[in-house]
Structure 1
Amino acid sequence: MKFNIKNIIGTIAFLISQGIAAQFYVGIQSGIGNIQSDIAGIQTGNRLGGAIKAGYIYSLNSHFGIGTGLEFSQYKQEVSFSRPTATLSNFEVDASTSAFVYNMTTNNYREKQTLQAVQIPLFVQYKKNINTGVDFNFRAGAKYFLPVNYEINATADYANGTAYYPDVNLTIFDLPEFGFGQQNNYSASGEYKTKGIVMSSFELGFTFDMGKKSSLYAAMFLENGYGTILNQNKNESYIGYSPTSTAERKANGLYSTDKDAEIKPVAFGVTLGWNFK
């Protein structure tokens, strides 16, 4: 799906120019934030997500309006292998430019991920008065999801990297000064390379008048990403190869093992906001 940001910016600029007829809002979102992947053999847990947002809704008539704004979201989750001990292999090149198969084995590998993003929503709102001071609201639209930081903190009981040179049928198990061997109590941090995608967004809730010029907004939301936020051009070992020391292995992360993996945010939960008429 291609995203034409020029059209969205143009629409937002038009709505800003009509701001005198708009209803402004601020709010927060909280719930389950899942950074889904299609990589086999891994599992996720402790998934949390939330956002703060501000924007406005331009009324087209008594029932329909168009809204936009700016949001800052954060996702937190843990990722690990489905089995305690796992081995993954990929191709590497050593300091002498010789190619080899790099086998990385870990025990109890866990990866804490924190994804922060800026979101630009564009949605249509339908509202209907159902009682004195109470409106039913339904919002549907899309968001441009732009990651600004995707950090990982990896730990394992041990990380053991070995090399197999197929040209000479040689396997190296323990040569730490060249990056091969076992490191106990592994701990390292890293960062995923990312790109922006489009998300669909839906909200279903109610507003409650709190005065002549303000109201409380409460809703359930569901958001789903399309495409992948991962941006890399080659497969990498989840714990990188260092040609100088086993103690300098970088955490590339489990999602880096497949450059074509689909990594996308999905979130659902509760929205609370305050509207200003």
Structure 2
Amino acid sequence: MKLNIKNTIGITAFLVSQAMVAQFYVGVQSGIGNIQSDVNGTSSGYELGGAIKVGYIYSLSNHIGIGTGIEFSQYKQDVFLSNSSATLSNFEVDPSTSAFEYRITASNYKERQSLHAIQIPLFVQYKTNINKGIDFNFRAGAKYFLPVNYKIKATATNVNGTAYYPDVNLTIDDLPEYGFGSQSNYSASGEYETKGIVMSMFELGFTFDMGAKNALYAAMFLENGYGSILDQDKDESYIGYNPTSVADRKANGLYSTDKNAKIRPVAFGVTLAWNFK
């Protein structure tokens, strides 16, 4: 027990001593955020995204340091069908266990996406003094990007769902009690299943001394995700099949139509932070 206490005290003292020589920061990021995809037949807009961040940089020398911390980020965008009258299909099974091709056509379909995530960066910083009280900074590294939630709000002026049974060459387009037919003013919410990925990160900027213990940091940033944050095991209709009604169809989302889709965040913009020396 004494040995464990001594080790604990020693480790705590070491961590405190490292923190005392580290430079802490709090800051915000703002810029263009986009959740890029390779799903055919879809297009998306670009909107402002942002993040709040806290962390520290441990100096290895006068020019080199290693930084880490935690960040909370947000992405928002609208996604559309490139062809607003396109019909998308996938295979479903009806209550009698018969397989059929489920065909969905949605007029003026729009999908409002909102992604929130935790980011944990690990980067190397190079800095050099270029004038009295002004340092040039370059940061490069990686982030672990962990989505907290990825929600969607889907709307359409009209949704039409039909069934085609290939075994008997039968098409059903108007049987609402079995989920086939039209629905006006469609609106539903849903959520994508997600997983964590790695992002690269780069920042280029300047630090301006604002006193003996504080400094303002301003930089441009670029972040790029690798892999896919989408985590699903089968292709789904972007508007789900309801076997008992043409109403209350689930919003699975356009990205659910391809289980192997590469869905990744990309962002660039400005970073502002307050450093505590």
| Cα pair 1:65 1:126 within 8 Å, conserved | yes
The C-alpha deviation readout for 1:194-251, integer Å capped at 9, x for no partner, is 0000000000000000000000000000000000000000000000001111111000
Structure 1's 160 and 16: CA in aligned 2 closer, same or farther, altered over 3 A?
farther
| Cα pair 1:220 1:270 within 8 Å, conserved | yes
| Cα pair 2:224 2:265 within 8 Å, conserved | yes
Runs of 4+ in 1 over 2 A off after TM superposition: 14-17
TM-score by length of 2: 0.94
Matching of residue 71 in structure 1 with residue 76 in structure 2 = no
Unmatched segments (≥5 aa) in structure 1: 1-13
State the alpha-carbon separation in 1 of the partners of residues 236 and 83 from structure 2. 20
Identity %: 77
Amino acid corresponding to residue 38 of structure 1 in structure 2: D
The C-alpha deviation readout for 1:102-130, integer Å capped at 9, x for no partner, is 00001110000000000000000000000
State the alpha-carbon separation in 1 of the partners of residues 80 and 142 from structure 2. 31
| Cα pair 2:33 2:46 within 8 Å, conserved | no
Hey, what does 1:188 align to over in structure 2? 188
Amino acid corresponding to residue 180 of structure 2 in structure 1: F
SS at match of 1:40: coil
The C-alpha deviation readout for 1:136-162, integer Å capped at 9, x for no partner, is 000000000000100000001111000
The C-alpha deviation readout for 1:42-87, integer Å capped at 9, x for no partner, is 1111422110000000000000000000000000000001122111
Structure 1 residue 96 displacement after superposition: 1.0
Stretch moving more, 40-49 or 160-169? 40-49
Hey, what does 1:36 align to over in structure 2? 36
Hey, what does 1:232 align to over in structure 2? 232
State the alpha-carbon separation in 1 of the partners of residues 41 and 258 from structure 2. 12
Amino acid corresponding to residue 84 of structure 2 in structure 1: P
| Cα pair 1:189 1:250 within 8 Å, conserved | yes
Amino acid corresponding to residue 276 of structure 1 in structure 2: F
Unmatched segments (≥5 aa) in structure 2: 1-13
Hey, what does 1:142 align to over in structure 2? 142
| Cα pair 1:15 1:58 within 8 Å, conserved | no
SS at match of 1:39: coil
TM-score by length of 1: 0.94
State the alpha-carbon separation in 2 of the partners of residues 202 and 141 from structure 1. 7
Hey, what does 1:112 align to over in structure 2? 112
Q: How does 1:207-246 map to 2 (within 5 A)?
A: 207-246=207-246
State the alpha-carbon separation in 1 of the partners of residues 172 and 227 from structure 2. 39
State the alpha-carbon separation in 2 of the partners of residues 16 and 264 from structure 1. 37
| Cα pair 1:120 1:143 within 8 Å, conserved | yes
Structure 1's 33 and 274: CA in aligned 2 closer, same or farther, altered over 3 A?
same
| Cα pair 1:189 1:251 within 8 Å, conserved | yes
Hey, what does 1:198 align to over in structure 2? 198
State the alpha-carbon separation in 1 of the partners of residues 17 and 100 from structure 2. 60
State the alpha-carbon separation in 1 of the partners of residues 68 and 53 from structure 2. 10
Amino acid corresponding to residue 222 of structure 2 in structure 1: L
State the alpha-carbon separation in 2 of the partners of residues 246 and 17 from structure 1. 65
Structure 1 residue 25 displacement after superposition: 0.2
RMSD value over aligned CA atoms?
1.1
